[in-house]
Amino acid sequence: MRTRAWPLGLALIVAACGDDGSAIPEGTCPVAVWARPSRGGTEPRLLGAWSQWSDTVAMTAFDDTWWVAEVALPPGEYGYLVVEEGEGRVDRHNPLGGWREADGAPVSWLVVDDCLRPRVAIDDEAAGLELLPARDGDEIVAVELAVDGEARTALDVPAGATEIDWTPPVLPRGRHVVELRARDRAGVSGPASSIAVWTDPVAETHADAIVYHVMIDRYRGDGGAALVPPPDPGARAGGTLDGVRVELERGTYDAMGVSTLWLSPVYVNPDEARQARDSDRLVEGYHGYWPLDSRAVDERIGGDAALDALVASAHNRGIRVVLDLVPNHYDEGNPRVLEHAGDGWFNERDPVCVCGAADCPWSTEIETCWFTPYLPDVRLQQPDALGAAIDDALWWQARFGIDGYRVDAVPMMPRAATRRIYHAVRRAIGPAGASLLLGEVFTGPGAGGIAALRYHLGPDGLDSAFDFPTMWAIRDVLTGRAGFDVLVELLQAEDDALAGSGAVLARMLGNHDTARITSVVAGDDARDPWESPPTEAPSASELARVRLGFALVFTLPGMPVIYYGDEVGLPGANDPDSRRVMPDPATLDPAASALAADVATLGTLRRCMDTLRRGAWRPVGVTTDHLAFLREGSDAPVLVVASAAAEATSITVPAAVAPGWYKDAMSGARLEIGEGGATFDLPPFGVLVLVPEEHACA
């Protein structure tokens, strides 16, 4: 049986048994800390907060590579360093870190679980339970079971068993939380081990997901009412959580194959308008990114009850809900700012270091600068400030039963701090992958962007990050600034850089911080976002390019993300123009409706075919204007043929799939591929998504 090592993803810190007969102090738990010396021939020692950083602990050679120190500590969390030749350093093999309170020096982080009460450890597939008796307690005789807070019949444990098989009970469609507690012969029950159990989810894993991004204020009003554009781009439009729920229940997201709703921040935001970051215009907190109350849902979007109703409705349909988590900053009126100003909670400087100012460049001050003077930047090196951020993430997760977070402004926070937040979220509820941690790592194009993503991804980092490098490259293809050859080179570089990370990149055409893809391909993205927008509808050529962009996002590996309104060609220059209200379906022209139908087709096909969700990809023909690639996996192959040419063109694709008849998922046309391949005629910016005709998803 494979059990999950809850304390650390790399499982380098494990329970020590004390088999040498040494006395273990009362109220402590034995642990072993492993290290690999960085200097040949040195004998490392351990230095930790448990001794107020005064006394080192000897380490013993385990083999030619590893050394180990056994310590007995009360349950809790501790900073430590590995000491070599009198110099302390962080443990390179421990993904968790923190800071020494006395001097702010980086340290490694040790989590000591409570061994003083009986516990249950759950394996990643939730197929078995490991039983961990209390250090000095009796053997475990039963496992108490509760589902969604309701007690069920306890599981009996055979005498002397150290593990038992377990299958979750049959439950209605949706997400359920199962709590398991070990009870020993003396009647002592331990802490709960919680696990999220899904019945019939739209997506089983992150790799299967399709995400829909909703900016609540700009989407739908109560009852699903279409919104009137606000009086200016910085004002509230009146969208609500109830509006999202109604759209959900109309089947809008089902039609696109959506598995996950990402909601813009739901925190209480201030009433008053503030000066926009990049202009002298006034902006209201319609977007949610100014947390005035860190643990309450803004009543203007419906309050706690509306979020409860939306989450319940989504779960009943097998759809996950991800909230926007904002640990980097608070609004200046947040009670925490008033209470903790001046005591180390914030990166304070006089004058305020505003990101991007001449004396506060992003390149050197990204972790300490403030977005604006009214958004104090949290100094997460301060233990209580980091503790509050961790507790906030756990509170929202427990209170509303949500399925993870889109984490805002990841590069603006120390990686040691964000990893501690992720670690806490994953420990709170299993199994692995129960909570999606999707990070905003805003980057530029190319190799530099890939390196920035790589730094924050991995088993102990983010599950996913928005793939800005690919977004920029697709935009360049669609506007003629670069060719498919550049896109393919970038995708292959990403594959190489992220191999083994376990991460699934979130691929999109745009988001709330960039110009809309429709305006990008129209050449209107550089317009002043506060000016009155053009009134003409996007042209057929522009929507064809957007359609091609969606086809790439949905047929390449990764996690497709749809920014609300992009599926109907909603235009918009940069923020705030990129945040227009969602159009009323009754007002859409035929071309916009056709684009929406194509996005739905792509989403449905991806939801249907395992190959598109998890299969490998392989380019089989690449030029500046033409691209053909193959998706291969456990399901049938999918051949994608695309043109970025502004005129009709023919593309010859060599033999890449078995000869026979194929169906184009986009048009429904039947096309034959022979022994030597095939030549396809494509319109300007055309794309074919070819599936074997006999396949059930075709």
Same domain, 590 and 552: yes
Q: Which one, of 455, 403, 440, lies nearest residue 425 by Cα?
A: 403
Mean pLDDT of the chain: 94
Note whether 582 and 623 are same-domain residues: no
pLDDT value at position 22?
Answer: 57
Give the per-residue pLDDT at 42.
82
Which pLDDT score, from 0 to 100, does residue 534 have?
83
Q: Given a cut of 90, is residue 72 above it in pLDDT?
A: yes
Nearest to 152 by CA among 183, 179, 185: 179
- Cα distances from 612 to residues 280, 644, 676, in angstroms, run 46, 22, 24
Instruction: Please check the confidence at residue 314 and state whether its pLDDT lies above 80.
Output: yes
Q: What is the mean pLDDT of residues 391-395?
A: 98
Tell me, yes or no, whether 368 lies in a domain: no
Q: How far apart are CA 449 and CA 414, in angstroms?
A: 18
Instruction: Report the CATH number that the domain containing residue 649 is assigned in CATH.
Output: 2.60.40.1180
Over the range 316-325, which residues count as b (16 or more CB within 10 Å of their CB) and which as e? ebbbbbbbbb
Q: What is the Cα–Cα distance from 321 to 312, expressed in whole angstroms?
A: 10
Mean pLDDT for the stretch of residues 55-70: 93
| 250 domain-assigned | yes
pLDDT-above-90 percentage for the chain: 90
Asked whether residue 499 carries a pLDDT value surpassing 60, the answer given is yes
Q: Looking at this protein, which amino acid is placed at residue 567?
A: E
- pLDDT tens for 263-308 read 999 999 999 999 999 889 999 999 999 999 999 999 999 999 999 9
Predicted confidence (pLDDT) at residue 13 exceeds the cutoff of 70: no
What is the tally of structural domains in the chain?
4
Among 112, 127, 160, identify where a domain stops: 112
The range of the structural domain enclosing residue 293 comes to 206-325+512-608
Provide φ and ψ at 453, rounded to 5°. -65, -45
pLDDT value for 5? 31
Tell me if 25 is assigned to some domain.
yes
- Confidence class of residue 39 from pLDDT cuts 50, 70 and 90? confident
Examine the pLDDT at 15 and tell me if it is beyond 50. no
* Whether residue 621 is found in the same domain as residue 675: yes
Please tell me which residue, 513 or 24, carries the higher pLDDT value. 513
The predicted pLDDT at position 178 comes to 95
What pLDDT is attached to residue 125? 59
Q: Which whole number is the average pLDDT over 594-611?
A: 97
pLDDT at 402 over 90: yes
Report whether pLDDT(239) > 80: yes
323-342 mean pLDDT: 96
7 lies in a domain?
Answer: no
Domain-located, residue 487: no
* Position 2 pLDDT exceeds 50: no
> Same domain for 516 and 584?
yes
Segment 28-56 shows an average pLDDT of: 92
Cα–Cα distance, 227 to 250 (Å, whole number): 17
* Residues 589 and 536 reside in one and the same domain: yes
Domain-located, residue 332? no
* Final residue before a domain boundary, out of 56, 91, 112: 112
Query: How far apart, in Å, are the Cα atoms of 588 and each of 5, 63, 193, 297, 522?
Result: 52, 69, 50, 32, 18
Using CA atoms, how far apart are residues 5 and 17, in angstroms rounded to an integer? Answer: 16
Instruction: Determine the pLDDT at residue 3.
Output: 30
Q: How confident is the model at residue 12 (pLDDT cuts 50, 70, 90)?
A: very low
| CATH number of the domain encompassing residue 21 | 2.60.40.10
223 plus 281 within the same structural domain: yes
Is residue 1 predicted with pLDDT exceeding 50? no
Long-range contacts of 370-374 (CB under 8 A, 24+ apart): 370/329, 371/277, 371/329, 372/274, 372/275, 372/277, 373/332, 374/274, 374/290, 374/331, 374/332
Nearest-angstrom CA–CA distance, 552 and 307: 33
Q: Are residues 26 and 84 in the same domain?
A: yes
Tens digit of pLDDT for each residue in 117-169?
999 998 765 568 999 999 999 999 999 999 999 999 999 999 999 999 988 88
What amino acid occupies position 527? R
The radius of gyration of the chain's CA atoms, rounded to the nearest angstrom, is 27
Q: Percentage of the chain surpassing pLDDT 70?
A: 96
pLDDT reported for residue 128: 84
Query: Are 321 and 214 members of one domain?
Result: yes
pLDDT category at 412 given cuts 50, 70, 90 is: very high
Same domain (yes/no): 18, 102: yes
Q: Are residues 215 and 309 in the same domain?
A: yes
- Domain membership of residue 6 (yes or no) is no
Q: Which of 77, 112, 147 is the last residue of a domain?
A: 112
Q: Are residues 98 and 123 in the same domain?
A: no
Residue 7 pLDDT more than 60? no
Neighbour count for residue 472 (Cβ, 10 Å):
19
470 pLDDT exceeds 70?
yes
The confidence score (pLDDT) of residue 8 equals 29
pTM here is 0.95
CA distance linking residue 642 with residue 640, whole number of Å: 7
Residues 214 and 123 in one domain: no
* Residue 660 backbone class (left: φ over 0; alpha: ψ -120 to 50; beta: rest): left
Domain with residue 286: its CATH number is: 3.20.20.80
- Token digits for 646? 């502004």
Residue 38 lies in a domain: yes
